[in-house]
Amino acid sequence: MVMKPSARSWLAEVEQLSGHRVVVVPVETNRATNTISIPADFPGRPVVRELLMQENFVAQFVRAYALTVSASQSGQRFHFVLLNLARAEQWQDHREQLLAHEAGHLWLDALGYRSLQVDPSDPQACLATHASDIVQHILIRQEMQRRGFDSSFWIFNQQEWLRQLPESGPVNVAGCERAQVVSLWLDGALGLNPSVWPQWPIWKVRTRQAFPDLVAAAERLASFLENLNLWDRSLYEAALGRVFRQLQLLG
């Protein structure tokens, strides 16, 4: 019998490796009343409460399906996986893969593959997040595959993106959204192919029509990244730096 891969057990492994507690927190946001609610009692609750009072953080959170943050409270360190319940309708069919992807980020961190650290109030913080995602997602996809997770989460992400694109013509995006386009495109280009996702060729055409300059920049990054062994820590670090500089140049 083949065991179904489990995100929970991967998260438990992260706890062992890092020595820090992993807490999955469902977060409810209500746009109408502009309120946020979290469960009444869970380990590290005051830290999460404080995070959710930061405007920048909340702005990033409402656009995400889930966010993972590491923080300390009275000397104890926690990894929080915050699930955005407002978007649960979109991700609930892929919950296991979504959690596995977050476990992947924490697992890499515990193994010493750190993400780029930039102060959250720095305007470059968003670029650092996307640069880290671009490089880490390549490793996470390989590890998810090794652990037997399918590609449904990555396909779902691209399908959602494709659904929002106009039928034709270029789309204007500014600021950090430009980096987000490059990051999403690289996920689709490096992580998927027509045999796992038949819509892939259409996706390629449509994204190029929508973002010609950004896709050209992303293609250059793709050819640099796909030939690197990112498990080699020095190459991993070098790739993070190079991707970050490229995102800065997108302006």
Q: Which is nearer to Zn ion, 18 or 73 (CB)?
A: 18
Ordered strands of the 66-73 beta sheet: 35-37, 21-30, 76-84, 66-73
* Chain contacts with Zn ion (rule: CB under 5 A): 133
The least distance separating Zn ion from the CB of residue 101, rounded to whole angstroms, comes to 6
**Closest CB to Zn ion: residue number:** 133
Q: Which is nearer to Zn ion, 48 or 102 (CB)?
A: 102
The least distance separating Zn ion from the CB of residue 157, rounded to whole angstroms, comes to 10
| Distance from C-alpha of 165 to C-alpha of 204, rounded to nearest angstrom | 12
Structure tokens at 109: 């961190």
The least distance separating Zn ion from the CB of residue 247, rounded to whole angstroms, comes to 15
The least distance separating Zn ion from the CB of residue 140, rounded to whole angstroms, comes to 7
Q: Which is nearer to Zn ion, 20 or 130 (CB)?
A: 130
Q: Which is nearer to Zn ion, 109 or 133 (CB)?
A: 133
What does DSSP assign to residue 65?
Answer: S
The count of C-alpha atoms lying within 13 angstroms of the C-alpha of 125, restricted to the half-sphere facing its C-beta, is 9
| Distance from C-alpha of 236 to C-alpha of 53, rounded to nearest angstrom | 34
CA 152 to chain centre: 15
